[in-house]
Amino acid sequence: MAERMLKFTELAQQTPNKRAATQRREDFAEIYEEFEPPQAEAQASRCSQCGIPFCAVNCPLGNNIPDWLKLTTEGRLEEAYELSAATNTFPEICGRICPQDRLCEGNCVIEKGFESVTIGAVERYITDTAFEKGWVKPIRPAQERAESIGIIGAGPAGLAAAEALRSQGYQVTVYDRHDRVGGLLIYGIPGFKLEKEIVLRRWKWLEDGGIKFVLNADIGGATSFASLRKTHDAVLVATGVYKSRELGGPGSGLSGIVPALDYLITSNRKGLGDAVPEYESGHFNAAGKNVVVIGGGDTAMDCVRTAVRQHAKSVTCLYRRDKQNMPGSLREVGNAEDEGVTFTWLSAPEAFLGDDKVTGVRAIRMHLGLPDASGRQSVDAIEGSAFTVPADLVIKALGFDPEDLPSAFNEPELKLTHWGTLKTNPKTFETALPGVYAAGDIVRGASLVVWAIRDGRDAAAAIHHQFAHSAHAQAAE
């Protein structure tokens, strides 16, 4: 009912309770507690039900946010879940890891003095409740189809496409090089942001819906790409981008300088109970060390907060711009600061010190200049401003580039853009090879999980359209 909404003028914004920094530094459990039903309903009631919902406009998935907020306020949680799940394959995951401060919540029309609606927390609450109540049912297509789709990559784009295609009745098999489903959701994002049981729960749900998984797959090696094309009527490449951007300069080859993703994967495997020799040897273990993380994105924030939980002696983040210009979520920066991370803004590495193993980072102060062609302020080094930060472990979190998939798959007919991503028809998602499609970061470049979900769903729609068009044409002959 309308009178239940627009409570932002009398009800303050309240996020779910957050565990104390001293407590959460000791484990990898999620830092936010669950909303209680009265809290969720009250916070959802702060929505202004505006005529043009900029929260939905600025959500890559176009989620019907005002509608499911209203349903939550009215206690119609099962309907709220159905509406949320209609546009988002993994709302409980997006509610945890999306940078809402840059997307939906950051574009809420409520004046900043009243603060935005806590959209992400309510989104998470809706789907977690749906799982608890048994409302989340396995995929049951209205009609089975004979066509078989092979998907390479069990990350968010591949899983979103698999769910959408299976819902249409296609026979779907997902291949992944890892031993678990989830891609970066399981191995790249730390448990304090996304507990792994949440991802494993979705894996089981997808299997219960009839999607098959082939793990530890070696596409281009033990399983040729050509054989995969023969096995399936269509193939979707959704491998993501994992190649760490390199950092040059004197001493960049010293031991103790590691890529961010290798560090995070090792930590997550340890948390999952795997035997991890790289961790046990100390190579990817921050315990007792002075740790320096280079970068300012969400991956850098994951690294500094992981190092804190591994009981590092000190954790410093070097970023060449200031706090207002960093690409990562400011909420994550705040969480890291609470947990004891030191941020050294406007600083860039100049050289790495040490003989065989890194002992320090020589950095230089930077100055923000005029905007460049991209609109961001340029950065210039300040002469004579060099300083040294002690470091026993340096983590490079500078972003990711795509692998050379034509070489990896031994399929030279796959064409690349000048950025190294797979070249596709933007309308059909088809690559240069007939019947081979691509979606997610391998096409877009490194981006957010929510964009990968959007791309996977759109690619599935394009594949379905192609098959439906072909069947219609055959029937007309």
Spatial distance between the Cα atoms of 376 and 295, rounded to a whole number of angstroms? 16
Quote the pLDDT of residue 327: 87
For the structural domain made of 2-133, what CATH number should be given? 1.10.1060.10
CATH topology match: 2-133 vs 248-399: no
Least confident of 144-148, 275-279, 343-347, 380-384: 275-279
List the chain domain ranges: 2-133, 148-241+402-476, 248-399
pTM of the model: 0.94
CATH 3.40.50.300 correct for 148-241+402-476: no
Q: Chain centroid to CA 438: how far?
A: 18
Please, what's the largest Cα pairwise distance for the chain? Answer: 77
Tell me the C-alpha distance between 376 and 325, whole Å: 8
**What pLDDT, in 10s, does the model give residues 346-356?**
999 999 999 99
Write the DSSP symbol of residue 17.
P
| Nearest CA among 53, 152, 149 for reference residue 103 | 53
Taking Cα atoms as reference points, which of 177, 136, 141 lies closest to residue 158? 177
The CATH number assigned to the domain with range 248-399 reads: 3.50.50.60
159 close to 237: Cβ distance less than 8 angstroms: no
Quickly state the pLDDT bin for 371 (edges 50, 70, 90). Answer: confident
Tens digits of per-residue pLDDT, 76-123? Answer: 999 999 999 999 999 999 999 999 998 999 999 997 778 999 999 999
Nearest to 62 by CA among 96, 103, 121: 103
Amino acid at 223: T
Which phi and psi (to 5°) does residue 258 adopt?
-130, 155
Cα–Cα distance list, 401 to 277, 292, 441, 444 (Å) = 27, 22, 9, 11
